[in-house]
Amino acid sequence: MAEQLLGPALNTASPDIYTRGWLAQTWHMVLWNLFQLRRRGMSKVLAGLFFGGYTLLLLLTIISHLLLGDGHVQQVGSDPIVALVFPGSLQFALGYLGLLSPIFLCIVAGALVGGDYAYGMHRQMLTRGLSRGQVFTAQVVTLALIALLLVGFMMILSTLLGFLVGPLFGLRPTLLSPTGWLGFVLTWLTQSLRYFIYMLIAVLAATIGHSVLAGIGFSVGYVFIEFLATNILFTLVGGLSAPMGRAIVSFVNNLPGTVSNSLNGYTTAMLAGQPIATLDQLPLQLILTIAYCIILILLSYLIYQHSDIFD
């Protein structure tokens, strides 16, 4: 089955893949990873659930607006259609991304890396002349591209919908200032970086466990634990001693997903045209976010480099 899946991408009758250089071969593997993810039924199911859920929320919002009565009267603070008019449509999409993307992208990452072990792909790729560095780099680049493409597509889609829905219901979209558009681009990068960190956790787990289940189970479990920590532990701080409370708050604020999400606070403030209160914590938060990425990548690669792919 693995050889059959591998066939469309690695043509052993052609030596091109082995003679065009390290970067070209690695990029070829990136394209192959994207190809196999697109072919998998799991990817189609996840895409259907993700975009189907987004479409359903849009329809429910429009229906709620129509049930309020006159669709040509903007009821500030009460009319849900305002959330679908740009830039509200963008915030709506970002909220939806934040809700489902960590889980769905962890599943994709765990399936990609763990699936290569399950189908024996590593043995085939490494015995056909590719290095472990190429295979691992291709996987990481593939996941980074998926995060960037998903967030970028949703932001562009929500922007277009926001400019279409507004006039349709008699509302005028609000144009962003130059600073707002800069915030738009930076939000795309920071949101993608946040989801990429979750995907790297799935890569590490799948590399250690050599399975899809390990990659998906551990990373999705971490997402839920982090969610509970940020929403439940904070409510318990009031009943603890001051040192213990400060320790819990510091620990939660420095978790990978939390610290990377803090970067979104700055970019979304720029996007909304709101003043940024302080930038004192920005250098530390940026350093921690990049450090998490580097540590997760290095750990995964070291484990992969010294693992037995023939076990």
Rounded to whole angstroms, the Cα distance separating 220 from 226 reads 10
Q: Where are the domains positioned within the chain?
A: 2-305
The gap from C-alpha 167 to its chain's centroid, in whole angstroms, comes to 31
- Which residue, chain included where needed, has tokens 């799991």? 42
Instruction: Answer yes or no: pTM beyond 0.75.
Output: yes
296/298 Cα distance (integer angstroms):
6
**pLDDT tens digit at each of 311 positions of the chain:** 333 334 444 444 444 444 468 888 899 999 999 998 998 888 999 999 999 999 999 999 988 888 876 544 444 456 788 888 999 999 999 999 999 999 999 999 999 999 888 777 777 777 777 888 999 999 999 999 999 999 999 999 999 999 998 888 888 898 889 999 999 999 999 999 999 999 999 999 999 998 899 999 999 999 998 888 777 766 665 555 567 667 777 777 788 888 988 898 899 888 888 888 788 888 999 999 999 999 999 999 999 988 876 65
DSSP 177: P
The CA angle 274-223-235, to the nearest 5 degrees, is 65
Residues 6+ apart with CB under 8 A from 101: 150, 151, 195
Contact 245, 237 (CB under 8 A): yes
From the list 30, 36, 27, the residue with the least C-alpha distance to 8 is 36
Contact assessment for residue 211 and residue 311, using Cβ atoms and an 8 Å cutoff: no
Residues 107, 216 contacting (CB under 8 angstroms): yes
Are the beta carbons of 116 and 207 closer than 8 angstroms? no
